[in-house]
Amino acid sequence: MSGKAAARRTVLKGAALAGTAGLGVAACSTESKVGHAKTPTPTAPVDLGDAEAVPADGVKLYREERLVVSRSADGEYKAFSAQCTHAGCVLDKIEKDEGNCPCHGSRFDVRTGEVLKGPATVPLPKVPVRTTKDGKLIAGPDA
Ligand code: FES
C-alpha cells in the first residue's frame, strides 16, 4: 500500500467519524428536546386530567405538556414549566423532588423551580394551576 492510499484512507475514516458524530448531535437535539417550544409556559389552559394523579406531598411530571406539578400534604398545587431554562430541553425524570434535564445535566427543585445544578442559571417559570369542581387539574393562563 502506498503512503498516499493510506493517507486517503485516514481522511475517509475521519470523515466517516465526523459524520457519525454529526448524527449523534442531531439525534440528541431532536430526541432530547421532545416538546421543545419557544414559549416555556402554556399560552392557553391545559387540562392535565385527574388532579388526584399528583400524589399528596408528591410531584408529577407531565412531559408531553412540558409541566411539572407538585401537591403539598395539605392539598395545595403548584406548577412550573418542565422546560429547562438552559437550552430548552424537557426534564426527563424526577428524583426526590429534583427534576433532571437530560441534555446537559441541570437539576431543578420542582417544588420551587429553583436551580440546584447548572449549567442552567434561571429558575423554572411558575405556571398558574387550579382544580375544577369535577376534580380536574388545569394549568396555564386563566387557571
Ligand atoms: S438544556 Fe437543560 S441543561 Fe442544557
pLDDT in tens, 72-90: 999 999 999 999 999 999 9
- In terms of pLDDT, which residue wins out, 18 or 87? 87
Q: Is the CB of 119 under 6 A from ligand 1?
A: yes
Could you give the C-alpha distances from 118 to 28, 37, 80, 114, 128, in angstroms and in order?
19, 21, 18, 11, 25
Radius of gyration of the chain (CA): 21
Across the chain, mean pLDDT equals 81
* Cell reading at 74: 395539605
* Cell reading at 95: 428524583
Among 40-49, 105-114, 127-136, the minimum mean pLDDT is found in 40-49
- In terms of pLDDT, which residue wins out, 44 or 143? 44
Q: Is the CB of 91 under 6 A from ligand 1?
A: no
Measured in Å, residue 19 CA sits from the centre of ligand 1 at 24
pTM above 0.95, yes or no: no
Residues 50-79: what's their mean pLDDT?
96
Measured in Å, residue 89 CA sits from the centre of ligand 1 at 6
Q: Is the CB of 58 under 6 A from ligand 1?
A: no
* Cell reading at 23: 448524527
Measured in Å, residue 68 CA sits from the centre of ligand 1 at 16
| Integer Cα distance of 125 and 110 in angstroms | 10
Q: With bands split at pLDDT 50, 70 and 90, how would you rate the model's confidence at 19?
A: very low
CATH superfamily membership of 46-139: Rieske [2Fe-2S] iron-sulphur domain (2.102.10.10)
Measured in Å, residue 104 CA sits from the centre of ligand 1 at 5
Query: SS3 for 5?
Result: helix
25-47 tens-digit pLDDT? 333 443 444 445 567 888 999 99
Q: Is the CB of 101 under 6 A from ligand 1?
A: yes
Q: What percent of the chain has pLDDT over 70?
A: 73
CB atoms within 10 A of CB 1: 6
Nearest atom, ligand 1, residue 88 CA? 1
Task: Please give the sequence-ordered ranges of beta strands (E in DSSP) within 6-128, or none if there are none.
Answer: 46-50, 58-62, 67-71, 77-81, 93-95, 98-100, 107-109, 115-117, 126-127
